[in-house]
Amino acid sequence: MYAIDLSGKNAVVFGVANHRSIAWAIAQALQQAGARMAVAYQNDRLRENAEKLVAPWQDAMLVECDVATDANVEAAFATLKEKMGRVDIVVHSIAFANREDLGGRFVNTPREGFRLALDVSAYSLIPIARAAAPLMAPSGGSIVTMTFQASERVFPGYNVMGTAKAALENEVRQLASDLGPENVRVNAISAGPVDTLSSRVISGYSVMKHAHADRAPMRRNITVEEVGKTGLYLCSDLSSGVTGEVIHVDTGYHIMGI
Protein backbone atom coordinates (compact mmCIF):
# COMPACT_ATOMS: atom_id res chain seq x y z
CA MET A 1 0.00 0.00 0.00
CA TYR A 2 2.87 2.35 0.71
CA ALA A 3 5.19 1.23 -2.10
CA ILE A 4 7.09 4.05 -3.75
CA ASP A 5 5.94 4.47 -7.33
CA LEU A 6 7.12 7.54 -9.21
CA SER A 7 5.77 6.51 -12.59
CA GLY A 8 4.21 9.52 -14.27
CA LYS A 9 6.55 11.87 -12.37
CA ASN A 10 9.24 13.98 -14.02
CA ALA A 11 12.48 14.53 -12.10
CA VAL A 12 15.54 16.68 -12.75
CA VAL A 13 18.77 16.07 -10.90
CA PHE A 14 21.49 18.75 -10.86
CA GLY A 15 25.08 17.85 -10.00
CA VAL A 16 25.97 14.64 -11.80
CA ALA A 17 29.71 14.81 -12.46
CA ASN A 18 30.47 11.07 -12.57
CA HIS A 19 29.32 7.70 -11.24
CA ARG A 20 30.45 8.61 -7.71
CA SER A 21 28.32 11.75 -7.48
CA ILE A 22 25.65 11.79 -4.79
CA ALA A 23 23.35 13.23 -7.47
CA TRP A 24 23.84 10.05 -9.48
CA ALA A 25 22.89 7.83 -6.53
CA ILE A 26 19.68 9.80 -6.06
CA ALA A 27 19.00 9.81 -9.82
CA GLN A 28 19.31 6.02 -9.92
CA ALA A 29 16.90 5.59 -7.02
CA LEU A 30 14.35 7.91 -8.66
CA GLN A 31 14.72 6.18 -12.02
CA GLN A 32 14.29 2.74 -10.49
CA ALA A 33 11.11 3.97 -8.81
CA GLY A 34 9.73 4.84 -12.25
CA ALA A 35 10.39 8.58 -12.61
CA ARG A 36 11.15 10.02 -16.02
CA MET A 37 14.61 11.50 -15.61
CA ALA A 38 16.44 14.62 -16.67
CA VAL A 39 20.07 14.95 -15.66
CA ALA A 40 21.65 18.39 -15.52
CA TYR A 41 25.42 18.60 -15.92
CA GLN A 42 27.57 21.67 -15.41
CA ASN A 43 29.41 22.09 -18.70
CA ASP A 44 30.73 20.51 -21.86
CA ARG A 45 33.59 18.88 -19.98
CA LEU A 46 31.10 16.73 -18.04
CA ARG A 47 28.66 16.08 -20.87
CA GLU A 48 30.24 12.79 -21.96
CA ASN A 49 30.14 11.37 -18.43
CA ALA A 50 26.47 12.24 -18.14
CA GLU A 51 25.70 10.82 -21.57
CA LYS A 52 27.33 7.50 -20.73
CA LEU A 53 25.55 7.26 -17.39
CA VAL A 54 22.05 7.82 -18.75
CA ALA A 55 22.61 5.82 -21.95
CA PRO A 56 20.83 2.68 -20.61
CA TRP A 57 17.75 4.70 -19.68
CA GLN A 58 14.95 5.10 -22.18
CA ASP A 59 13.75 8.67 -22.73
CA ALA A 60 16.16 10.25 -20.21
CA MET A 61 16.97 13.82 -20.99
CA LEU A 62 20.20 15.76 -20.58
CA VAL A 63 20.44 19.47 -19.98
CA GLU A 64 23.51 21.65 -19.53
CA CYS A 65 23.38 24.19 -16.71
CA ASP A 66 26.15 26.14 -15.05
CA VAL A 67 24.29 27.67 -12.12
CA ALA A 68 26.66 30.64 -11.96
CA THR A 69 24.05 32.79 -13.72
CA ASP A 70 20.28 33.05 -13.40
CA ALA A 71 19.99 33.12 -17.19
CA ASN A 72 21.51 29.62 -17.40
CA VAL A 73 19.07 28.30 -14.80
CA GLU A 74 16.11 29.92 -16.57
CA ALA A 75 17.24 28.48 -19.91
CA ALA A 76 17.56 24.99 -18.41
CA PHE A 77 14.03 25.13 -17.00
CA ALA A 78 12.69 26.50 -20.31
CA THR A 79 14.17 23.41 -21.99
CA LEU A 80 12.69 21.15 -19.31
CA LYS A 81 9.28 22.77 -19.77
CA GLU A 82 9.45 22.30 -23.52
CA LYS A 83 10.57 18.66 -23.36
CA MET A 84 8.81 17.39 -20.22
CA GLY A 85 5.90 19.75 -19.70
CA ARG A 86 5.88 19.65 -15.94
CA VAL A 87 8.51 18.97 -13.30
CA ASP A 88 7.60 17.15 -10.07
CA ILE A 89 10.99 16.60 -8.47
CA VAL A 90 14.19 18.68 -8.35
CA VAL A 91 17.42 17.53 -6.75
CA HIS A 92 20.10 20.21 -6.16
CA SER A 93 23.41 18.47 -5.44
CA ILE A 94 25.89 21.22 -6.27
CA ALA A 95 28.78 22.81 -4.39
CA PHE A 96 31.98 24.58 -5.29
CA ALA A 97 34.76 26.48 -3.52
CA ASN A 98 38.30 27.27 -4.53
CA ARG A 99 40.60 24.48 -3.39
CA GLU A 100 42.78 26.93 -1.42
CA ASP A 101 39.72 27.96 0.62
CA LEU A 102 39.07 24.36 1.74
CA GLY A 103 42.04 24.14 4.07
CA GLY A 104 44.19 26.27 6.31
CA ARG A 105 42.74 28.86 8.64
CA PHE A 106 39.15 29.98 8.06
CA VAL A 107 40.17 33.45 9.20
CA ASN A 108 42.12 33.82 5.95
CA THR A 109 39.10 33.22 3.68
CA PRO A 110 39.30 35.84 0.93
CA ARG A 111 36.29 37.92 -0.04
CA GLU A 112 36.17 36.56 -3.60
CA GLY A 113 36.49 32.93 -2.44
CA PHE A 114 33.65 33.51 0.02
CA ARG A 115 31.50 35.10 -2.69
CA LEU A 116 32.12 32.26 -5.13
CA ALA A 117 31.45 29.45 -2.63
CA LEU A 118 28.25 31.04 -1.35
CA ASP A 119 27.06 31.91 -4.86
CA VAL A 120 27.45 28.45 -6.39
CA SER A 121 26.78 26.31 -3.33
CA ALA A 122 23.99 28.24 -1.61
CA TYR A 123 22.48 30.99 -3.76
CA SER A 124 21.93 28.62 -6.71
CA LEU A 125 19.10 26.85 -4.89
CA ILE A 126 17.02 30.05 -5.02
CA PRO A 127 16.84 30.57 -8.82
CA ILE A 128 16.36 26.81 -9.20
CA ALA A 129 13.38 26.84 -6.82
CA ARG A 130 12.04 30.01 -8.47
CA ALA A 131 12.14 28.44 -11.92
CA ALA A 132 10.93 25.01 -10.79
CA ALA A 133 7.89 25.99 -8.70
CA PRO A 134 5.70 27.17 -11.63
CA LEU A 135 6.42 23.90 -13.46
CA MET A 136 5.21 21.99 -10.39
CA ALA A 137 1.79 23.66 -10.37
CA PRO A 138 -0.98 22.89 -9.67
CA SER A 139 -0.29 19.67 -7.74
CA GLY A 140 3.06 20.71 -6.23
CA GLY A 141 6.36 18.88 -5.98
CA SER A 142 9.51 18.21 -4.03
CA ILE A 143 12.89 19.98 -4.00
CA VAL A 144 15.84 18.33 -2.24
CA THR A 145 19.31 19.75 -1.65
CA MET A 146 22.52 18.34 -0.17
CA THR A 147 24.19 19.70 2.96
CA PHE A 148 26.81 18.74 5.54
CA GLN A 149 27.02 19.03 9.31
CA ALA A 150 29.74 21.69 9.00
CA SER A 151 26.77 24.07 8.86
CA GLU A 152 26.24 23.45 12.58
CA ARG A 153 29.70 22.61 13.95
CA VAL A 154 33.30 23.26 13.03
CA PHE A 155 35.02 20.75 10.79
CA PRO A 156 38.53 22.16 10.27
CA GLY A 157 39.29 22.27 6.55
CA TYR A 158 35.65 22.50 5.51
CA ASN A 159 35.95 26.25 6.15
CA VAL A 160 33.90 28.47 3.82
CA MET A 161 31.80 25.49 2.70
CA GLY A 162 30.49 25.31 6.28
CA THR A 163 29.30 28.90 5.90
CA ALA A 164 27.72 28.03 2.54
CA LYS A 165 25.90 25.04 4.04
CA ALA A 166 24.57 27.17 6.93
CA ALA A 167 23.16 29.58 4.33
CA LEU A 168 21.77 26.72 2.28
CA GLU A 169 19.94 25.19 5.26
CA ASN A 170 18.46 28.57 6.09
CA GLU A 171 17.28 28.87 2.49
CA VAL A 172 15.61 25.45 2.79
CA ARG A 173 13.45 26.81 5.62
CA GLN A 174 12.64 30.10 3.90
CA LEU A 175 11.84 28.42 0.57
CA ALA A 176 9.72 25.81 2.35
CA SER A 177 7.74 28.64 3.93
CA ASP A 178 7.36 30.53 0.62
CA LEU A 179 6.41 27.53 -1.50
CA GLY A 180 4.44 25.48 1.04
CA PRO A 181 1.07 27.01 0.04
CA GLU A 182 1.72 25.69 -3.49
CA ASN A 183 2.39 22.21 -2.06
CA VAL A 184 6.04 22.49 -3.07
CA ARG A 185 8.18 20.91 -0.35
CA VAL A 186 11.84 21.82 0.21
CA ASN A 187 14.17 19.64 2.28
CA ALA A 188 17.87 18.91 2.72
CA ILE A 189 19.86 15.77 3.34
CA SER A 190 22.87 16.23 5.61
CA ALA A 191 25.12 13.39 4.51
CA GLY A 192 28.13 11.91 6.21
CA PRO A 193 31.41 11.73 4.25
CA VAL A 194 31.19 9.98 0.86
CA ASP A 195 34.15 9.60 -1.54
CA THR A 196 33.43 11.90 -4.50
CA LEU A 197 35.30 14.35 -6.70
CA SER A 198 34.31 17.22 -4.40
CA SER A 199 34.92 15.63 -1.02
CA ARG A 200 38.47 14.57 -1.87
CA VAL A 201 39.46 18.21 -2.32
CA ILE A 202 38.67 19.05 1.32
CA SER A 203 41.81 19.03 3.41
CA GLY A 204 41.25 16.75 6.40
CA TYR A 205 38.57 14.75 4.57
CA SER A 206 40.06 11.36 5.47
CA VAL A 207 40.36 12.37 9.16
CA MET A 208 36.70 13.37 9.03
CA LYS A 209 35.73 10.10 7.43
CA HIS A 210 37.59 8.02 10.02
CA ALA A 211 36.09 10.04 12.87
CA HIS A 212 32.60 9.27 11.55
CA ALA A 213 33.30 5.55 11.34
CA ASP A 214 34.83 5.51 14.85
CA ARG A 215 32.33 7.63 16.71
CA ALA A 216 28.98 7.33 14.93
CA PRO A 217 26.44 5.21 16.82
CA MET A 218 26.41 2.72 13.94
CA ARG A 219 30.26 2.58 13.90
CA ARG A 220 30.59 2.85 10.16
CA ASN A 221 30.47 5.31 7.30
CA ILE A 222 27.39 5.72 5.19
CA THR A 223 27.04 4.43 1.65
CA VAL A 224 26.05 6.66 -1.22
CA GLU A 225 23.09 4.33 -1.80
CA GLU A 226 21.79 5.28 1.65
CA VAL A 227 21.72 8.92 0.54
CA GLY A 228 19.93 7.80 -2.63
CA LYS A 229 17.25 6.02 -0.60
CA THR A 230 16.60 9.03 1.65
CA GLY A 231 16.50 11.19 -1.49
CA LEU A 232 13.86 8.86 -2.89
CA TYR A 233 11.81 9.13 0.32
CA LEU A 234 11.98 12.94 0.27
CA CYS A 235 11.01 13.06 -3.42
CA SER A 236 8.09 10.67 -2.99
CA ASP A 237 4.67 10.86 -1.45
CA LEU A 238 5.92 8.96 1.62
CA SER A 239 7.26 12.32 2.87
CA SER A 240 4.14 14.29 1.88
CA GLY A 241 3.94 16.03 5.27
CA VAL A 242 7.66 16.87 5.52
CA THR A 243 9.09 20.25 4.52
CA GLY A 244 11.80 22.66 5.69
CA GLU A 245 13.63 19.68 7.20
CA VAL A 246 17.30 18.71 7.32
CA ILE A 247 17.54 14.92 7.55
CA HIS A 248 20.91 13.54 8.64
CA VAL A 249 22.09 10.45 6.79
CA ASP A 250 25.27 10.03 8.80
CA THR A 251 24.89 6.76 10.77
CA GLY A 252 23.97 9.04 13.69
CA TYR A 253 27.26 10.95 13.97
CA HIS A 254 25.56 14.30 14.61
CA ILE A 255 23.92 13.20 17.87
CA MET A 256 27.24 12.44 19.59
CA GLY A 257 28.86 14.81 22.09
CA ILE A 258 32.31 13.30 21.67
Ligand X SMILES: NC(=O)c1ccc[n+]([C@@H]2O[C@H](COP(=O)([O-])OP(=O)(O)OC[C@H]3O[C@@H](n4cnc5c(N)ncnc54)[C@H](O)[C@@H]3O)[C@@H](O)[C@H]2O)c1
Smaller CB distance to ligand X: residue 161 or 179? 161
Tell me how far CA of residue 69 lies from CA of 15, 74, 172, in angstroms.
15, 9, 20
Question: Taking CB under 6 A as the rule, does residue 15 contact ligand X?
Answer: yes
Question: Taking CB under 6 A as the rule, does residue 207 contact ligand X?
Answer: no
- The residue count for binding ligand X (CB under 6 A) is 28
Question: Taking CB under 6 A as the rule, does residue 222 contact ligand X?
Answer: no
Residue 124 near residue 143, CB atoms below 8 Å = no
Name which position in 38, 94, 232, 246 contacts ligand X (CB under 6 A): 94
241: Cβ–Cβ under 8 A, 6 or more apart, which residues?
none
Smaller CB distance to ligand X: residue 57 or 96? 96
Name which position in 4, 33, 46, 126 contacts ligand X (CB under 6 A): 46
Residue 235 near residue 142, CB atoms below 8 Å = yes
Catalytic residue annotation? 158, 165
Stretch that binds ligand X, among 75-83, 89-97, 135-143, 177-185 (CB under 6 A): 89-97
Residue 204 Ramachandran class (φ > 0 left, ψ -120 to 50 alpha, else beta): left
Cβ atoms within 10 Å, residue 257:
4
In the complex, which residues of this chain contact ligand X (CB under 6 A)?
A: 15-17, 20-23, 42, 46, 65-68, 93-96, 120, 146-148, 191, 193-194, 196-199
